[in-house]
């Protein structure tokens, strides 16, 4: 009986309809009850015990009903979540190597080097005759907005005992200026260059940037020192001379002609002078000889102390020094130039009438370019000389470089 109940429950749990199964199982129960009844009666006994059958049958029906009753409510089970496979660890994405065809970003160019001026302050050559401002550089011609001056000046007392002898020295920044040579209308004398190429004037297109005018060298009759401008040779160069030259790349050069000989094709211009006062940092030995120093000239009465001018270069080649000395001997001029920082120096013209350092400008807005100041007092000039009135002697002019 218990087996029957268990079977029915299993069948019902499998979804068999209990109504149909109940009818079939009732028949089976009736047959089973009849067999059991027979098995408990003595053989040959046909007695029918009504009390016993209904009690047993009732118990069987109860068990059957329990077994085949309505199926037990099954708990509602949601969809079983499918276990998600664990994602493999993400490998780092390799960075692609730069392609050989990729456009490379050029690094920013380094800032330009600072201007070479003012030069370092220097100790006066002789403490006994020095003044407190000797060796201290002061602005002379201003530069652009936020820039140092283009030209600086200082004073040197180059004589050991004569305090009235002095030289004014100017430092010119060659990285921000141009220096050009111009032939005068008369000097140097020449038979090879036409007058049309010796205007004696600063070109009109250069006058807006004009800063200063500097005197040139000796007259032709005082040594016949050579000169060339733009390929036009006014005088043939001397073998024993010093020279001030500008290369076509814009750099300046001062030294013995023997080192420059044969390089005319590399030069924009040259102007020869007496032998170099200073070369490679050393003063010329003839400066100490009363007789030999005559090569640097003197006054008409034979005196050697007079106004003298000279130009020199520092060791970097980025500063041009101009010196103008009062009552100086050739050696005094050389001592002053070396103290300022010149490692090579050449003397230009001498005497009151021919030495020039004129500061050019416009005194008022709209005024024409003219001389507005001089390096030292009592320099002979005309206000519009070199820009309107032609110069008879060769000269240098300095202009501001355009950005």
Neighbour order of strands in the sheet with 151-156: 138-141, 151-156, 166-173, 319-328, 306-313, 344-350, 278-279, 282-283
Of the two residues 64 and 374, the one the predictor is more confident about is 374
Please state, as a whole number, how many other Cβ atoms lie within 10 Å of the Cβ of residue 299: 13
pLDDT tops 70 at residue 226: yes
pLDDT tens digit sequence for 129-156: 999 999 999 999 999 888 999 999 999 9
pLDDT tens digit sequence for 113-124: 888 999 999 999
CA separation, residue 45 to residues 52, 297, 396 (Å) = 15, 180, 165
Q: In which band, very low, low, confident or very high, does the pLDDT at 207 lie, cut at 50, 70 and 90?
A: very high
Distance in angstroms (rounded) separating the CA atoms of residues 115 and 171: 12
The values of phi and psi at residue 8, to 5°, are -60, -40
Q: What is the pLDDT of residue 106?
A: 79
The values of phi and psi at residue 56, to 5°, are -70, -40
pLDDT tops 60 at residue 73: no
Instruction: Work out the average pLDDT over 176-184.
Output: 98
Instruction: Work out the average pLDDT over 227-231.
Output: 96
Nearest to 171 by CA among 269, 309, 283, 314: 314
Of the two residues 344 and 24, the one the predictor is more confident about is 344
Q: In which band, very low, low, confident or very high, does the pLDDT at 68 lie, cut at 50, 70 and 90?
A: very low
| Lowest mean pLDDT, pick from 44-48, 322-326, 342-346 | 44-48
pLDDT tens digit sequence for 8-67: 454 444 444 545 666 676 677 567 666 756 654 555 444 444 444 444 344 443 333 334
Distance in angstroms (rounded) separating the CA atoms of residues 64 and 111: 106
Distance in angstroms (rounded) separating the CA atoms of residues 232 and 224: 16
The model carries a pTM of 0.73
């Amino acid at each position: 009986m218990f087996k029957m109940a268990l079977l029915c429950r299993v069948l019902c749990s499998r979804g068999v309809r209990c109504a149909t199964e109940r009818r079939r199982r009732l028949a089976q129960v009736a047959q089973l009850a009849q067999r059991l009844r027979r098995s408990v009666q003595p053989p040959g006994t046909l007695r029918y015990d009504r009390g016993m059958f209904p009690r047993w049958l009732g118990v069987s029906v109860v068990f059957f009903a329990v077994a085949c009753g309505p199926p037990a409510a099954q708990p509602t089970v949601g969809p079983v979540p499918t276990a998600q496979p664990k994602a493999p660890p993400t490998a780092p994405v390799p960075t692609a190597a730069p392609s050989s065809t990729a456009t490379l970003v050029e690094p920013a160019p380094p800032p330009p080097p600072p201007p070479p001026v003012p030069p370092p302050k220097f100790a006066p050559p002789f403490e006994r005759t020095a003044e407190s401002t000797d060796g201290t550089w002061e602005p002379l011609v201003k530069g652009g907005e936020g820039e140092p001056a283009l030209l600086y000046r200082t004073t040197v007392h180059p004589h050991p005992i004569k305090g009235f002898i002095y030289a004014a020295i100017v430092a010119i920044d060659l990285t921000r200026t141009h220096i050009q040579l111009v032939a005068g209308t008369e000097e140097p004398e020449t038979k090879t260059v036409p007058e049309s190429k010796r205007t004696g004037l600063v070109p009109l297109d250069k006058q807006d940037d004009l800063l200063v005018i500097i005197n040139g060298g000796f007259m032709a009759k005082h040594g016949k020192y050579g000169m060339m401008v733009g390929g036009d040779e006014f005088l043939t160069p001397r073998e024993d001379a010093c020279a001030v030259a500008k290369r076509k790349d814009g750099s300046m050069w001062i030294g013995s002609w023997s080192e420059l000989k044969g390089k005319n094709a590399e030069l924009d211009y040259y102007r020869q002078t007496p032998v170099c006062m200073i070369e490679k940092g050393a003063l010329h030995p003839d400066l100490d000889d009363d007789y030999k120093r005559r090569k640097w000239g003197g006054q008409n009465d034979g005196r050697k102390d007079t106004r003298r001018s000279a130009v020199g270069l520092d060791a970097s080649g980025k500063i041009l020094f101009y010196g103008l000395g009062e009552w100086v001997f050739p050696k005094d001029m050389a001592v002053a130039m070396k103290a300022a920082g010149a490692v090579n120096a050449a003397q230009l013209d001498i005497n009151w009438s021919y030495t020039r350092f004129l500061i050019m400008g416009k005194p008022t807005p709209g005024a024409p370019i003219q001389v507005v100041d001089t390096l030292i007092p009592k320099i002979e000039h005309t206000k519009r000389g070199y820009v309107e009135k032609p110069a008879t002697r060769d000269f240098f002019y300095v202009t501001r470089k355009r950005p």
